[in-house]
């Protein structure tokens, strides 16, 4: 049928347009990081000088390391605390539980600008001030609700009889958790961890409020660099980050089929 | 292996009395059914015996040892759940191995015991499968193997056959009974299916509203129920109500019904008689009725349900519908609307105190 073929063709075009919309800016940026001209001038001439000069840019490198460190620590803290909190909310009934669960959602909806201002005032008030530690605390607070929401959603599909069955077979509370419950919620924990990493690594607003000139993260540093004058080094560092994070995502997707667990 | 004694156990959830002073003695090696409608407390009782929940008062002993405050993981029981509760992230063999593995048994011991248990439930070759690759009946067997491989003192089954279709259920009933005999383990089986309770168990305990209504071998409960509830819940029964004469009752219309079984009651009190539908003879008139049967009632057939090997007649008399089951011998079939004479012997009539 002719119409079916046209529809098929339209569908294919649509998908390609969608992918172009998503990836074209990134591809252009990646190409320009290998272009000689710092002002996006064509024709394209291959160079790796921006990558080389990146290694000389101590500020950018130190900001990158700060971002990675903070994101990793945030991920670890949020995954552990968030999963434990989800398990507690799942297993135990206590006074004010509903209220507590309801309180988990507003922080996700509150604009980061407001959260950032509030944190800045609060951290000054209690004497923590600004700096990497303040940024880390801020990121943990921002990312924790995401982990709890994702892990709790996974726990909703968990059959409580599985824990009872494990106990009836003589398993201690720790054995029940580590051998039955955790394996079941692991896809949720990994997904929650990825969320936490993304929230922290992408975080600009809160980090901007809480950073000081020497103690800053990559997004804040990139913003500062662009304001001073754009250099293709930014393209270079962005390209590296994109390649690494896409590789991580693909690896994770390969090992855990989210939502497809049997 | 061990017997289980439940003594005066009560358990309330808020204002709801889930168990009210229940005492049952489960002898070593027996197969018991706890039978009752939903909300009768049978599952609550099983969970008290398992140790998932503790009684408010009363005593539970396994093998003579008080366990009513011992948590489930220390009670050495085996349990099969209604939905099997197999661990989805483990193979069949790992599921069965779980109880031995958390105990820290050696790998070689575990492998041998798991294989023995799987052989016992006739799944010896499926150890490497995942639970989701098995049929309902196979999952049931894995759950059973997992529950018995640890050599528990008592095996608890919570409506284990409820999720299976009818044909498979009958197979599993026979299979379960065979395995129970083979290992000789005390087994307590919760069900709301009276047929399952009758065919499988050595003894039945009937529960209602958190109380033990009656307990005994299936034949005893069926032949001499002690309450209208026991009579109608385990099997079908016609209940006739009136004033007791001591050896039977007098119906409101003056007809005397003689009872040869059941309670001994002082004359004059309210009482009822229970008669099983298959014990009643049905005849077209008084002349052809079996006079030696003793108890006779006149009525009119209102409905007949043909079920192949038998027919059920619904007979109206004095505002009450009586059920009569007649084997299909091919001799005579009664039409709806026909006047009939019902007769049955006093021995088939159980006198029950009014409740």
Contact B147/A171, CB-based, under 8 Å?
no
Average pLDDT of the segment spanning B146-154:
92
Strand, coil or helix: what is B343?
strand
Residues B282, B295: contact at Cβ < 8 Å?
Answer: no
pLDDT classification of B1: cutoffs 50, 70, 90: low
In a domain, A46, yes or no: no
Chosen domain end from B223, B244, B276: B223
Whether B115 and B246 map to the same domain: the answer is no
Residues of B in contact with A172 (CB under 8 A): 73, 102
Neighbours of A131 (CB within 10 A): 15
Number of structural domains (chain B) is 2
Residues B248, B256: contact at Cβ < 8 Å?
Answer: yes
List the single range of A69-83, B21-35, B47-61, B119-133 with lowest mean pLDDT. B119-133
Whether B183 and B242 map to the same domain: the answer is no
Whether B179 and B101 map to the same domain: the answer is yes
Residue from B288, B293, B278 nearest B341 by CA: B288
pLDDT at B267: 72
Domain extent at residue A238: 57-255
pLDDT at A259: 42
Contact B85/A161, CB-based, under 8 Å?
yes
In a domain, B187, yes or no: yes
Place of tokens 């087994």: B187
In a domain, B345, yes or no: yes
pLDDT at B292: 66
Residues of B in contact with A171 (CB under 8 A): 73, 98-99, 102
pLDDT at B94: 92
Percent of chain B that is helix, strand, coil (3-state, to 5):
30, 35, 35
Task: Return the CATH number at B16.
Answer: 3.40.50.300
In a domain, A30, yes or no: no
Contact A166/B132, CB-based, under 8 Å?
no
Q: What are phi and psi of B51, to 5 degrees?
A: 105, 15
Whether B273 and B198 map to the same domain: the answer is no
Question: Across all residues in chain B, what is the average pLDDT?
Answer: 88
In a domain, A262, yes or no: no
Contact A165/B85, CB-based, under 8 Å?
yes
In a domain, A130, yes or no: yes
Whether B8 and B105 map to the same domain: the answer is yes
Residue from B277, B109, B120 nearest B183 by CA: B120
In a domain, A19, yes or no: no
Residues of B in contact with A165 (CB under 8 A): 79, 81, 85-87, 146
pLDDT 10s per residue in chain A (262 long)?
A: 678 888 889 999 999 999 999 889 888 888 888 887 777 777 777 887 778 877 777 888 888 889 999 999 999 999 999 999 999 998 888 888 888 888 888 888 888 889 889 999 999 888 888 888 999 999 999 999 999 999 999 998 888 899 999 999 999 999 999 999 999 999 889 888 888 888 898 888 899 999 888 888 888 888 888 887 777 778 888 888 888 778 877 776 766 554 444 3
Whether B256 and B176 map to the same domain: the answer is no
Whether B75 and B219 map to the same domain: the answer is yes
Contact A165/B102, CB-based, under 8 Å?
no
Q: Which residues contact B259 (CB under 8 A, 6 or more apart)?
A: B247, B248, B249, B273, B346, B349, B350, B351
In a domain, A34, yes or no: no
The answer, yes or no, to whether residue B157 has pLDDT greater than 90, is yes
Chain centroid, CA A19 distance in Å? 22
Residue from A158, A133, A143 nearest A79 by CA: A143
In a domain, B228, yes or no: no
- Nearest Cα of chain A lies from the Cα of B350 at a distance, in angstroms, of 43
Number of structural domains (chain A) is 1
What share of chain B has pLDDT > 70, as a percent?
A: 96
For residue B232, count CB atoms less than 10 angstroms from its CB and return exposed for 0-12, middle for 13-18, buried for 19 or more.
middle
Helix spans in chain A (H): 2-32, 49-54, 58-91, 97-103, 106-109, 112-126, 132-155, 160-168, 173-176, 182-201, 205-210, 218-228, 232-255
| Inter-chain contacts counted by CB atoms under 8 A, chains A and B | 68
In a domain, A16, yes or no: no
Residues of A in contact with B103 (CB under 8 A): 170
The model's pTM is 0.78
pLDDT at B190: 93
The answer, yes or no, to whether residue B294 has pLDDT greater than 60, is yes
In a domain, A110, yes or no: yes
Q: Give the chain A residue whose CA is nearest to the CA of B132.
A: A262
Q: Which of A161, A162, A170 sits opposite B99 (nearest CB)?
A: A170
Domain extent at residue B245: 236-353
- Residues of A in CB contact (< 8 Å) with B are 159, 161-162, 164-172, 175, 179-180, 183-184, 261-262
Residues A206, A120: contact at Cβ < 8 Å?
Answer: no
The answer, yes or no, to whether residue B290 has pLDDT greater than 80, is no
Chosen domain end from B183, B202, B223: B223
Whether B172 and B197 map to the same domain: the answer is yes
Whether B87 and B194 map to the same domain: the answer is yes
- What whole-number distance in Å separates Cα of residue B194 and Cα of residue B176? 17
In a domain, B231, yes or no: no
Average pLDDT of the segment spanning B90-118:
92
- What whole-number distance in Å separates Cα of residue B220 and Cα of residue B79? 28
Whether B244 and B200 map to the same domain: the answer is no
Residues of A in contact with B89 (CB under 8 A): 180, 183-184
Task: Return the CATH number at A150.
Answer: 1.10.3720.10
What ipTM score was computed for the predicted complex, to two decimals? 0.82
pLDDT at B166: 80
Residue from B253, B240, B322 nearest B282 by CA: B322
Residues B41, B22: contact at Cβ < 8 Å?
Answer: yes
Q: Which of A170, A183, A261 sits opposite B73 (nearest CB)?
A: A170
Whether B200 and B272 map to the same domain: the answer is no
Contact A169/B76, CB-based, under 8 Å?
no
Whether B172 and B316 map to the same domain: the answer is no
pLDDT classification of B289: cutoffs 50, 70, 90: low
Q: Which of A164, A171, A261 sits opposite B102 (nearest CB)?
A: A171
Chosen domain end from B223, B246, B275: B223
């Amino acid at each position: 049928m002719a119409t079916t073929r046209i529809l098929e063709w339209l569908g294919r075009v649509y998908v390609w347009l969608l992918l172009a919309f998503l990836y074209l800016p990134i591809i252009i940026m990646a190409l320009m990081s290998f272009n000689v001209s710092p002002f996006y001038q064509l024709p394209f001439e291959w160079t790796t000088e921006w990558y080389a000069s990146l290694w000389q840019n101590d500020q950018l490198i130190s900001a990158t390391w700060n971002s990675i460190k903070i994101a990793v620590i945030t991920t670890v803290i949020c995954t552990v605390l968030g999963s434990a909190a989800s398990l507690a909310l799942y297993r135990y009934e206590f006074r004010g539980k509903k209220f507590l669960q309801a309180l988990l959602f507003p922080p996700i909806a509150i604009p980061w600008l407001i959260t950032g201002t509030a944190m800045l005032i609060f951290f000054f008030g209690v004497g923590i001030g600004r700096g990497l530690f303040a940024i880390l605390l801020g990121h943990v607070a921002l990312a924790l609700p995401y982990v709890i929401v994702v892990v709790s959603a996974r726990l909703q599909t968990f059959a409580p009889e599985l824990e009872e069955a494990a106990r009836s077979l003589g398993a201690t509370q720790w054995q029940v958790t580590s051998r039955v419950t955790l394996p079941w919620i692991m896809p949720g924990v990994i997904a929650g961890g990825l969320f936490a990493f993304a929230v922290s690594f992408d975080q600009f607003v809160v980090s901007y409020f809480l950073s000081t000139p020497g103690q800053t993260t990559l997004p804040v540093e990139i913003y500062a660099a662009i304001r001073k004058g754009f250099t293709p080094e930014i393209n270079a560092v962005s390209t590296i980050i994109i390649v690494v994070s896409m590789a991580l995502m693909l690896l994770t997707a390969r090992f855990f089929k989210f939502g497809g667990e049997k | 292996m061990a017997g289980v004694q439940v003594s005066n156990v009560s358990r309330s959830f808020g204002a709801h009395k889930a168990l009210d002073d229940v005492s049952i003695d489960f002898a070593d090696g027996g197969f018991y059914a706890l039978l009752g409608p939903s909300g009768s407390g049978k599952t609550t009782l099983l969970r008290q015996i398992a140790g998932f929940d503790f009684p408010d008062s009363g005593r539970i002993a396994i093998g003579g040892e008080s366990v009513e405050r011992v948590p489930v993981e220390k009670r050495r029981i085996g349990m099969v759940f209604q939905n099997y509760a197999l661990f989805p992230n483990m193979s069949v063999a790992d599921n069965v191995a779980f109880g031995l593995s958390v105990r820290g048994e050696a790998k070689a011991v575990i492998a041998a015991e798991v294989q023995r248990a799987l052989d016992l439930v006739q799944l010896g070759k499926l150890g490497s499968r995942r639970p989701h690759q098995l049929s309902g009946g196979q999952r049931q067997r894995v759950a059973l193997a997992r529950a018995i491989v640890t050599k528990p003192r008592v095996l608890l089954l919570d409506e284990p056959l409820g999720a299976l279709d009818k044909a498979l259920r009958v197979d599993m009933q026979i299979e379960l009974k065979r395995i129970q005999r083979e290992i000789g383990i005390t087994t307590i089986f919760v069900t709301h299916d009276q047929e399952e309770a009758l065919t499988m168990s050595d003894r039945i305990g009937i529960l209602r509203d958190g109380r033990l209504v009656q307990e005994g071998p299936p034949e005893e409960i069926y032949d001499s129920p002690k309450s209208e509830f026991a009579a109608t819940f385990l099997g079908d029964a016609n209940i006739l109500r009136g004033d007791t004469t001591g050896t039977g009752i007098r119906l409101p219309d003056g007809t005397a019904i003689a009872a040869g079984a059941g309670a001994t009651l002082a004359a004059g009190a309210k009482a009822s008689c229970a008669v099983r539908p298959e014990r009643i003879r049905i005849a077209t008139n008084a002349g052809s009725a079996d006079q030696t049967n003793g108890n006779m009632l006149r009525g009119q057939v209102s409905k007949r349900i043909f079920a192949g090997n038998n027919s059920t007649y619904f007979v109206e008399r004095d505002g009450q519908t009586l059920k009569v089951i007649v084997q299909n011998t091919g001799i005579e079939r009664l039409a709806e609307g026909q006047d009939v004479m019902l007769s049955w012997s006093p021995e088939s009539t159980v006198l029950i105190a009014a409740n």
